[in-house]
Structure 1
Amino acid sequence: MTLLFWIVIGLIAGAVAHRVLNSRGGFIGSLVVGLLGSLVGGKLAEILRLNVTGGFLDQLVVATLGAILFLFLWRKLFR
């Protein structure tokens, strides 16, 4: 995947995570949460041996779930 592909997925996943958890943050915050969420979601999918084919929608779902989990845990740890 190209860097641009991951940035687009990270932005979308971060924006969805911010909306789901009613969080504050701007463009950069959404990007960071989305990209970190992509890593978290990807690693969890690997650990759980989920078959993610690598398509845009699959990657978006995994990244979004990872971003929501990451943001939820971040809030619990640092608030």
Structure 2
Amino acid sequence: MNIIAWAVLGIVAGAIAKLLYPGRQGGGIFSTMILGIIGSFLGGSLYTLLTKGTISLTATGFSLPGLLVAVLGAMIAIFLWGLVTRSAA
């Protein structure tokens, strides 16, 4: 998949994940795109691990199942980012 398709998938997956994830997340379109691309890789890698039993860095394809996996990966990325940036107050 080329970089433009990853960017489009990232924007869509990140936006859907931010809509579905409870709470308020900051950031603009660039952070949403980065979050979606990271989610695409995270979701694709987890899907490969669960289905094939191997660990590999793979991104999801530009399809409806690929979008669903990317959204789930982006939601995991939102959760992990919230853990990292949470203040200790």
Which TM-score band (shorter chain)? 0.7 to 0.9
For residues 21-63 of structure 1, give each alpha carbon's deviation from its aligned partner in whole angstroms, at most 9, with x where no partner exists: 231211101001000000100110011017xx94511111111
CA contact (8 A) 1:10 1:38 kept: yes
Counterpart position of 2:30: 28
CA contact (8 A) 2:9 2:62 kept: no
Counterpart position of 2:9: 9
The amino acid of 2:41's aligned partner reads: L
Question: How far apart, CA to CA, are the structure 2 residues paired with 1:30 and 1:20?
Answer: 13
Name stretches of at least 5 consecutive residues in structure 2 with no aligned partner: 53-59
The amino acid of 2:66's aligned partner reads: Q
**Matched residue count:** 77
Shift of residue 78, structure 1, vs aligned partner:
2.1
Question: Which structure is higher in helix share?
Answer: 1
Q: Please point out which of 59, 77, 84 is paired with 1:77.
A: 84
Shift of residue 2, structure 1, vs aligned partner:
2.3
Question: How far apart, CA to CA, are the structure 1 residues paired with 2:39 and 2:61?
Answer: 16
Which of 1 and 2 has higher RCO (CA within 8 Å, sep 6+)?
1
SS at match of 1:12: helix
Name stretches of at least 5 consecutive residues in structure 1 with no aligned partner: none
RMSD: 1.8
